[in-house]
């Protein structure tokens, strides 16, 4: 079977270490083989018809090759494509995305097209610096290298509307009562009611006071996101010149060119980058999309230091199994599975440091047991409403979250810890508590049924994949 007069199906092809490997789910009006050929053609050297300008060198050296198919029906299934290294620009993520994540989404014969994962060769990764600080660098700054406890943070709420002084007052209450990180929300930058510079100045005063009273280092992730790169650089300069240590960027809506430019600029000044992923679900959810783990790999190579990855238990989409995968992509160098739950094996170059993952979205102190059971201790537990919604306010909410984290870090379950801490007890009374046994059951079930889960996804396609990765729970 051919598409546009050329054959891209090569099921005997053995992938090379320098190949880019892409895993796609697709369905459409034609047989899976023809759909796969169309995708490989459109994303590499071909077009809809045979052309007089094609030559042997182009077709043999630069084309994409479909090296594996898993059929769900005659017209749907999983497609594995290998792209030669020479197909792509050096250190040009946009050219890569335009090829592999570009025109193919517009092919009218497709009913579904979902890029599930991409494996980037080590040779390609060596062009990127990766995180400057990552987990260990941030732990060193905050002084948690020995304890290895989860970090705690909050988002000042309401999202927008507070004046700089009101905002700083909330931040001070959070820091002085034990939290490590305070951040702007994703939609607060430089509105008239809370000008960026005024807010930064007031918050830094609060940060300095909190550091003195607690004897601990604190971090403020100020949102510098802007459509004007010069304005972002001006803000970074101001942070650097006035004692700040961290900036926040809405990395998905910024786009890759701005992000790449700003990461280099920020890191050259020795500042930490907190990456908010606002908007990513527009790509991850639906029949046409890109799984977040693909963007996560881009962000880790480019070099953000902290990245929101979801909770697995809060208000944001994603089952524990999917969020655990995102955590592994953030913190590990090698994947455990060759092919598992819609993911390819992954391997990061040795110099690419782990990102410090952030779990945020509907989080409260009653979830700490579950979050540690899911993510381990290399996690930033960040609660907005779960701190400021405490019955006794922000200060008590911050104390409750920090006490919960310190207790779980020592192996003390939350229900036992709450008997000795009124703030935590009040938090559990209001927000509730869920035993971590549910998370443990899920991962025990997963471990014992990996082959079955893979088989079900191969057999039923995206319907079963989404059930497992978005809604799967036990009990």
Mean pLDDT across the stretch 21-38? 94
Q: What is the pLDDT of residue 304?
A: 97
Burial class (CB in 10 A: 0-12, 13-18, 19+), 231: middle
| Residue 453, pLDDT above cutoff 60 | yes
Q: What is the pLDDT of residue 137?
A: 98
Residue 434 tokens read as: 């869920």
| Residue 229, pLDDT above cutoff 60 | yes
Task: Determine contact, residues 371/433, Cβ cutoff 8 Å.
Answer: no
Q: Judge whether 405 lies within some domain.
A: yes
In percent, the amount of the chain with pLDDT more than 90 equals 66
Same domain, 156 and 299: yes
Average pLDDT, the chain: 91
Identify the band that residue 475 occupies on the pLDDT scale cut at 50, 70 and 90: very low
Q: What is the pLDDT of residue 241?
A: 98
What is the Cα–Cα distance from 50 to 5, expressed in whole angstroms? 5
Mean pLDDT across the stretch 386-401? 97
Marked catalytic residue, from 31, 157, 165, 233: 157
Identify the band that residue 318 occupies on the pLDDT scale cut at 50, 70 and 90: low
Task: Determine contact, residues 178/402, Cβ cutoff 8 Å.
Answer: yes
Judged by average pLDDT, the poorest of 210-219, 324-333, 458-467 is 458-467
Across 175-204, b (16+ Cβ under 10 Å) vs e yields bbbbbbbbbbbbebbbeeebebeebbebbb
The bridge status of strand 246-250 relative to strand 219-223 is parallel
Domain CATH code at residue 345? 3.20.20.110
Catalytic, 308? Answer no
| Residue 51, pLDDT above cutoff 90 | no
Long-range contacts of 447-453 (CB under 8 A, 24+ apart): 450/337, 450/340, 453/341
Same domain, 384 and 339: yes
Number of domains making up the chain: 3
Across 46-85, b (16+ Cβ under 10 Å) vs e yields beeeeeeebeeeeeeeebbbbbbebebeebbbbbbbbbbe
User: How many CB atoms sit inside 10 A of residue 345's CB?
Assistant: 14
Same domain, 382 and 330: yes
Marked catalytic residue, from 68, 276, 324, 388: 276
Same domain, 164 and 79: no
Laid out side by side, the sheet with 288-290 consists of 65-73, 76-83, 20-28, 110-119, 288-290
Identify the band that residue 319 occupies on the pLDDT scale cut at 50, 70 and 90: confident
| Residue 225, pLDDT above cutoff 60 | yes
Same domain, 48 and 150: no
* 368-375 and 320-331 helices, crossing angle to 10°: 60
Closest by CA position to 382, among listed 172, 169, 182? 182
User: How many residues comprise the chain?
Assistant: 475
360 vs 175, higher pLDDT: 175
Q: Judge whether 53 lies within some domain.
A: yes
| Residue 49, pLDDT above cutoff 90 | no
Q: What is the pLDDT of residue 42?
A: 87
Identify the band that residue 297 occupies on the pLDDT scale cut at 50, 70 and 90: very high
Mean pLDDT across the stretch 281-308? 88
The bridge status of strand 151-155 relative to strand 65-73 is unpaired
Closest by CA position to 434, among listed 363, 365, 370? 370
Q: Judge whether 394 lies within some domain.
A: yes
| Residue 326, pLDDT above cutoff 80 | yes
Task: Determine contact, residues 306/134, Cβ cutoff 8 Å.
Answer: no
pLDDT in tens, 339-366: 577 888 888 999 999 999 999 888 999 9
Same domain, 28 and 41: yes
Identify the band that residue 311 occupies on the pLDDT scale cut at 50, 70 and 90: confident
Task: Determine contact, residues 323/311, Cβ cutoff 8 Å.
Answer: yes
Q: What is the dihedral of CA 140, 346, 255, 320, to 10 degrees?
A: -80
Catalytic, 157? Answer yes
Identify the band that residue 279 occupies on the pLDDT scale cut at 50, 70 and 90: low
Same domain, 337 and 257: yes
| Residue 1, pLDDT above cutoff 60 | no
What is residue 201's DSSP assignment?
A: H
Judged by average pLDDT, the poorest of 175-179, 211-215, 315-319 is 315-319
From 125, 155, 179, give the residue that closes a domain. Answer: 125
Residue 467 exposure: Cα atoms within 13 Å on the Cβ side: 10
What is the Cα–Cα distance from 143 to 124, expressed in whole angstroms? 34
Mean pLDDT across the stretch 89-114? 88
Q: Judge whether 475 lies within some domain.
A: no
Give the bridge partners for 413, in sequence order. none
Alpha-carbon radius of gyration of the chain: 24
Q: Judge whether 4 lies within some domain.
A: no
pLDDT in tens, 196-206: 999 999 999 99
Task: Determine contact, residues 198/164, Cβ cutoff 8 Å.
Answer: yes
| Residue 334, pLDDT above cutoff 90 | no
Domain CATH code at residue 97? 3.30.70.150
Prior bond of 158 cis (ω within 30°): yes
Mean pLDDT across the stretch 255-270? 95
Residue 411 tokens read as: 């192996």
Same domain, 245 and 290: yes
Mean pLDDT across the stretch 86-97? 87
Same domain, 341 and 418: yes
Q: Judge whether 365 lies within some domain.
A: yes
Residue 85 tokens read as: 């290294």
Q: Judge whether 316 lies within some domain.
A: yes
Domain with 458, as residue range(s), is 438-470
Same domain, 93 and 153: no
Q: What angle do CA 448, 356, 312 make, to 5 degrees?
A: 45
Task: Determine contact, residues 307/355, Cβ cutoff 8 Å.
Answer: yes
Identify the band that residue 463 occupies on the pLDDT scale cut at 50, 70 and 90: confident
Q: Judge whether 5 lies within some domain.
A: no
What is the Cα–Cα distance from 75 to 347, expressed in whole angstroms? 32
Same domain, 260 and 164: yes
Q: What is the pLDDT of residue 107?
A: 86
Judged by average pLDDT, the poorest of 43-57, 115-129, 137-151 is 43-57
Same domain, 111 and 142: no
């Amino acid at each position: 079977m051919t598409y546009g007069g050329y054959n891209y199906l090569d099921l005997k092809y053995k992938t090379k270490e320098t190949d880019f490997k892409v895993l796609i789910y697709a369905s459409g009006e034609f047989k899976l083989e023809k759909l796969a050929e169309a995708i490989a053609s459109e994303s590499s050297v071909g077009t809809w018809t045979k052309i007089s300008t094609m030559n042997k060198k182009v077709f043999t050296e630069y084309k994409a090759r479909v090296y594996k198919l898993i059929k769900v029906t005659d017209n749907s299934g999983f497609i594995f494509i290998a792209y030669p290294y020479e197909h792509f620009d050096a250190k040009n993520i946009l050219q890569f995305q335009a090829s592999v994540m570009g025109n193919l989404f517009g092919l009218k014969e497709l009913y579904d097209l979902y890029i599930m994962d991409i494996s980037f060769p080590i040779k390609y990764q060596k062009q990127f610096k990766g995180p400057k600080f990552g987990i260990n660098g941030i732990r060193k700054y905050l002084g948690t290298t020995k304890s290895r406890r989860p970090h705690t943070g909050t988002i000042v709420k309401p999202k927008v509307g507070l004046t700089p002084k009101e905002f700083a007052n909330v931040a001070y209450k959070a820091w002085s009562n034990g939290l490590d990180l305070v951040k702007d929300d994703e939609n607060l930058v430089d509105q008239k009611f809370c000008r960026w510079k005024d807010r930064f100045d007031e918050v830094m005063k609060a940060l300095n006071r909190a550091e003195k009273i607690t004897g601990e280092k604190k971090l403020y992730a100020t949102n510098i996101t802007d459509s004007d790169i010069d304005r972002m650089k001006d803000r970074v300069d101001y942070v650097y010149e006035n004692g700040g240590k961290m900036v926040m960027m809405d990395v998905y809506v910024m786009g890759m060119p701005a992000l790449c430019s700003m990461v280099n600029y920020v890191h050259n000044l020795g500042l930490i980058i907190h990456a908010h992923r606002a908007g990513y679900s527009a790509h991850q959810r639906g029949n046409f999309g890109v799984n977040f783990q693909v963007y996560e790999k881009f962000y880790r190579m480019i070099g953000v230091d902290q990245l929101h990855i979801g909770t697995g238990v809060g208000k944001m989409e994603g089952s524990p199994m999917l969020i655990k995968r995102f955590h592994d992509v953030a913190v590990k160098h090698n994947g455990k599975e060759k092919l598992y739950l819609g993911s390819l094996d992954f391997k990061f170059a040795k110099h690419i440091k782990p990102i410090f993952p952030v779990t945020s979205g509907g989080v409260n102190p009653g979830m700490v047991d579950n979050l540690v059971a899911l993510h381990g201790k290399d996690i930033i537990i960040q609660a907005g409403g779960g701190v400021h919604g405490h019955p006794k306010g922000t200060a008590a909410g911050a104390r409750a979250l920090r006490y919960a984290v310190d207790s779980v870090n020592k192996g003390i379950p939350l229900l036992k810890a709450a008997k000795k801490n009124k703030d935590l007890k009040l938090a559990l009374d209001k927000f509730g508590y869920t035993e971590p046994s549910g998370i443990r059951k899920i991962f025990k079930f997963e471990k014992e049924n990996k082959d079955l889960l893979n088989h079900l996804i191969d057999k039923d396609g995206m319907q079963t994949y989404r059930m497992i990765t978005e809604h799967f729970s036990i009990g």
